[in-house]
Amino acid sequence: MKLSIDHKSAVPLHIQAETLLREMIKEPEYQAGKLLPNEVDLAKILAISRTTLRQAINKLVYEELLVRKKRLGTKVAQSKMSSKSMNWLSFTQEMQARGIPIKNYELHVSWVYPDDYIANFFDIKTEKKIMKLERLRGNADEAFVYFVSYFHPRIGLTGDEDFKKPLYEMLENEHSVVANLSKEEISARAADKLIAGKLEIDPGSPVLFRKRFVFDQGDRPMEYNLGYYKAESFIYTVESRRNS
């Protein structure tokens, strides 16, 4: 882990400072209400202006990772709303962690024109095709989840990648794209004909539906993922702590 800032890098200084602060507050010495060095000093240490440093701090303050107090200083907030387990494990990794061997029932790559919704999320034009990945997965006995993923063209996927490997690992190793932030929307749905067919359930019966918006290091959109989970086969767990 680097403790300093590279003034020659193309990465903006306030972004570098931001990631550096994120690393910093993960360290044991900064956990639990400890104070950061004051802004003036820290700016001097990092060799950036106070304004630039504040820009970085502000972001973490907004995310409620840091709390500012006049005269007292800036302290690390109580860790909050940590959505446990599930979130940063890919499906493959999670199943492996539970000792369940995965079976890919279907794996299909295609190139499609994004609809308005997707184009808007990716901030691209609807006239250019993007990669669509459909996967039907489960254990040895049955398929219990159907995934549909769309990827930002920036990543440069060819379609020849090995999608049997853990997806995010592959993206990181082969395309240098790291998933950093995900926003998910979970709801219950009735399975339509397509989904019912894939999961071998009756149309109209319940599925857990998850939309997932994935962002990379620079908080740029990188993947849009739809997951249809057979009911009963999947439970989403969230653990959150009050932060007042």
Partner DNA sequence: ATCAAAAATATGTACAAACATAAAAATATA
Partner DNA sequence: TATATTTTTATGTTTGTACATATTTTTGAT
Contact residues toward DNA (CB under 7 A) are 7, 10, 12-15, 36, 38-40, 47-52, 54-55, 68-74
Say which entry of DNA, a second copy, none residue 238 contacts (CB below 5 to 8 A, set by partner kind). a second copy
CB of 110 to a second copy, least distance (A): 27
Say which entry of a second copy, DNA, none residue 14 contacts (CB below 5 to 8 A, set by partner kind). DNA
Say which entry of DNA, a second copy, none residue 13 contacts (CB below 5 to 8 A, set by partner kind). DNA
CB of 174 to a second copy, least distance (A): 19
Say which entry of a second copy, DNA, none residue 119 contacts (CB below 5 to 8 A, set by partner kind). none
Q: What is the C-alpha to C-alpha distance for residues 15 and 7, in angstroms, rounded to an integer? A: 12
240 closest CA partner among 4, 77, 58, 81 = 81
Q: What is the C-alpha to C-alpha distance for residues 22 and 155, in angstroms, rounded to an integer? A: 25
Which residues lie near a second copy (CB under 8 A)?
A: 26, 58-59, 62-63, 78, 81-83, 87-88, 120, 178-190, 204-209, 229, 231-232, 234-244
CB of 109 to a second copy, least distance (A): 26
Q: How many CB atoms lie within 10 A of CB 78?
A: 15
59 closest CA partner among 177, 179, 183, 219 = 219
Q: 92-98 long-range contacts, Cβ below 8 Å, gap at least 24?
A: 92/165, 92/166, 92/167, 93/166, 93/169, 95/139
Say which entry of DNA, a second copy, none residue 24 contacts (CB below 5 to 8 A, set by partner kind). none
Instruction: Quickly tell me which residue has 């060095």 as its tokens.
Output: 37
150 CB burial (10 A radius; 0-12, 13-18, 19+) = buried
CB of 131 to DNA, least distance (A): 20
Nearer to a second copy, 107 or 190 (CB): 190
